[in-house]
Amino acid sequence: MRYAHKLICLLLLVLSASFGVGGCYLLYSDFGVQLERTNGANAAAHAQTCTLLQTEILDLQRRGSDTGDDTVVALLQAQGRQVALWRGNVLLWNALPVPGDPALADGTMCTRRENGCVYALYGSDLQGDLHLVSAFDLTELYRDRAASLRRFLGLEAVVLVAGAAVLALLAGQLTRPLRVLSSASARIAAGDYAGRTSLRTGDELEQVSRSFDKMADAVQEKIADLEADVQKREDFMGAFTHELKTPMTSIIGYADVLRSLQTDPDEQREAANAIYHEGQRLEALSQKLLALLALGNEALDLTTLDLATLWPRLRAACPNANLHTPEGSWPVRGDADLLLDLLCNLVQNAVKAGAPDAPVTVRCQEGAATVMLEVADRGCGIPAEELARVTEPFYMVDKSRARKQGGSGLGLALCKRIAAAHGSDLQIQSTPGQGTTVRVILQKGDAV
């Protein structure tokens, strides 16, 4: 059973019970008042009959007239009442509409039904061992009560039908927010994550609607993030497969030439150099992939180090770079090996982007609580529309040039991970034809 139907049934039950109990109470209360008034009048009439009969008998006795049974019955018949008279246990006269044996005790009253009629019987003892029972018809009073009850039940039926119609409308309005919530839930479950309720009821259901919409927003954002992650993984796997395929094709091809053909020493040397070069590419690719995986979500234990101590190691790692480093001491909070790896990748990218022997400048700028580390070159630059993607794994602006120079498209992705591990991000500023500057903001360390 639906909630609206349950609500209608419950309210109808309450309405019918309240209306029925209240109506019956008023109806029977009014009937009780009328019955009490009628019984009082009937008791007075019975007393009047007894008094009149007693007075007439006493008057006959004073005059010395006959007061026998026939005379008393004649006096009673003259009143024209529905009565019965006993002398002792002998029934003298019976005009009751219902059986009167045995006679009622003195001062008692009872109600009896006979042939669909209702009568009230009153009994009293008189002088001379006489006993009188009077009967009064209450049928009309009970019929009026039954008619009133039928009218009331008809009225209650009309009220319940009208109430059911009104309650159906009210229940529909009250449960509309629930239907909206249910419909929105079904749409979200079916994949329509943009569905919202946007209810404006001014009550608790509006608060539920707002909470539901906030939950739907969170679900949509989470789904979007998951879809983006899945797409990134698919792109990563596609790019990774492609990056593996190119060197592996060269290695297999040259190895097959060496294995199956008789070649002169120069051709053998060329094939061996190609295999060696592609093997180095695979080694570099695997090392950077391992570095990316190692920088997943693990927190680093950062210590104070002087960036100036990295310059000699940087020159040794990048011997083909025309490197310019700043003078002075630059204490920061960081991991020396990771920062060196970051600088190596940035410097190597700068060397590949510029002309032979073009200067690559490393700069440091001290702030109140930070040190900004920059690597700048005067190379070919990066188009503005490519800047947002250059930190994606395997993404290359110029794939053919990058592969010729031994690039894998992982350098800036690794630098971004290293910067994030230091609580920072890569800031890339580039102008095509003029050069590129990459910045990382590091927390200042204690003086070394």
Lowest mean pLDDT among 62-66, 161-165, 281-285, 328-332: 281-285
Q: Domain boundary residue among 270, 294, 318?
A: 294
323 and 249, same domain (yes or no): no
Q: What is the mean pLDDT of residues 163-189?
A: 78
341 and 439, same domain (yes or no): yes
In the chain, how long is the greatest CA-to-CA distance?
178
User: How many other C-beta atoms are found inside a 10 Å radius of the C-beta of residue 124?
Assistant: 22
Q: Domain boundary residue among 157, 184, 216?
A: 157
Looking at the domain assignment, is residue 174 inside a domain? no
Q: Which helix (H) or strand (E) holds 216?
A: helix 204-260
Under 8 Å CB-to-CB from 256, ≥6 apart: which residues?
Answer: none
What does the block give as tokens for 400? 């053919």
Looking at the domain assignment, is residue 448 inside a domain? no
The listed range with the strongest mean pLDDT (111-115, 188-192, 335-339, 409-413) is 111-115
- Domain of residue 239, CATH code: 1.10.287
Selected residue with higher pLDDT from 376 and 341: 376
Cα separation values, 429 from 117, 292, 386, 437, Å? 110, 23, 11, 5
Q: What is the mean pLDDT of residues 185-190?
A: 79
User: How many other C-beta atoms are found inside a 10 Å radius of the C-beta of residue 205?
Assistant: 20
Which pLDDT belongs to residue 34? 93
274 and 320, same domain (yes or no): no
> How far is the C-alpha of 246 from the C-alpha of 249, rounded, in Å?
5
Which pLDDT belongs to residue 281? 65
Which pLDDT belongs to residue 227? 82
322 and 379, same domain (yes or no): yes
Which pLDDT belongs to residue 118? 93
- Domain of residue 20, CATH code: 3.30.450
28 and 95, same domain (yes or no): yes
> How far is the C-alpha of 395 from the C-alpha of 409, rounded, in Å?
5
Which pLDDT belongs to residue 400? 45
Looking at the domain assignment, is residue 148 inside a domain? yes
87 and 69, same domain (yes or no): yes
Lowest mean pLDDT among 233-242, 341-350, 352-361: 233-242
Bridge partners, 364 (sequence order):
373
Looking at the domain assignment, is residue 227 inside a domain? yes
Q: Which helix (H) or strand (E) holds 125?
A: strand 117-126
Selected residue with higher pLDDT from 404 and 108: 108
Looking at the domain assignment, is residue 249 inside a domain? yes
- Look up residue 63 and give its DSSP letter: H
> How far is the C-alpha of 250 from the C-alpha of 39, rounded, in Å?
123
What does the block give as tokens for 78? 């003259």
Output the average pLDDT for the chain. Answer: 82
Number of structural domains the chain divides into: 3
Q: Is residue 305 a contact partner of residue 443, using CB atoms and an 8 Å limit?
A: no
Q: b vs e for 274-306, b when ≥16 Cβ sit within 10 Å of the residue's Cβ?
A: bbeebeebbeebeebbebbeebeeeeeebeebb
- Percent of the chain at pLDDT > 90 equals 24
| pLDDT tens string 193-245 | 777 777 777 777 777 777 878 888 888 888 888 887 777 677 666 656 655 67
Which pLDDT belongs to residue 374? 94
Domain extent for 374: 299-443
- Look up residue 373 and give its DSSP letter: E
Looking at the domain assignment, is residue 433 inside a domain? yes
Q: Domain boundary residue among 294, 318, 333?
A: 294
Phi, psi of 124 (to 5 degrees): -145, 145
280 and 318, same domain (yes or no): no
90 and 235, same domain (yes or no): no
Which pLDDT belongs to residue 13? 82
| pLDDT tens string 167-179 | 788 777 777 777 7
284 and 345, same domain (yes or no): no
- Domain of residue 379, CATH code: 3.30.565.10
* DSSP secondary structure of 93-108: EE--SS--PSPPPTTE
Selected residue with higher pLDDT from 164 and 406: 164
Which pLDDT belongs to residue 375? 93
Selected residue with higher pLDDT from 185 and 118: 118
100 and 216, same domain (yes or no): no
Under 8 Å CB-to-CB from 109, ≥6 apart: which residues?
Answer: 39, 43, 120, 121, 122, 123
Bridge partners, 444 (sequence order):
332
Lowest mean pLDDT among 106-110, 227-231, 298-302: 298-302
15 and 150, same domain (yes or no): yes
290 and 327, same domain (yes or no): no
Which pLDDT belongs to residue 294? 62
Q: Which helix (H) or strand (E) holds 266?
A: helix 265-294
pLDDT for residue 399 is more than 50: no
> How far is the C-alpha of 331 from the C-alpha of 335, rounded, in Å?
12
Q: What is the distance in angstroms between the CA of the first residue and the CA of the last residue of the chain?
A: 77
pLDDT for residue 324 is more than 90: yes
Q: What angle do CA 99, 102, 108 make, to 5 degrees?
A: 95
Q: Are strands 427-431 and 359-366 parallel, antiparallel or unpaired?
A: unpaired
Which pLDDT belongs to residue 122? 94
Q: Is residue 70 a contact partner of residue 78, using CB atoms and an 8 Å limit?
A: no
What does the block give as tokens for 182? 């249910």
Looking at the domain assignment, is residue 402 inside a domain? yes
Q: Which helix (H) or strand (E) holds 142?
A: helix 139-189
pLDDT for residue 287 is more than 50: yes
Which pLDDT belongs to residue 239? 58
In this prediction, residue 256 has a pLDDT band, given cuts at 50, 70 and 90, of confident
Which pLDDT belongs to residue 429? 92
Total H helices, total E strands in the chain? 9, 12
Looking at the domain assignment, is residue 40 inside a domain? yes
Taking each helix axis from N to C end, the angle separating 204-260 and 265-294, rounded to the nearest 10 degrees, works out to: 160
Q: What is the mean pLDDT of residues 8-36?
A: 85
The reply to whether the predicted model has a pTM over 0.85 is no
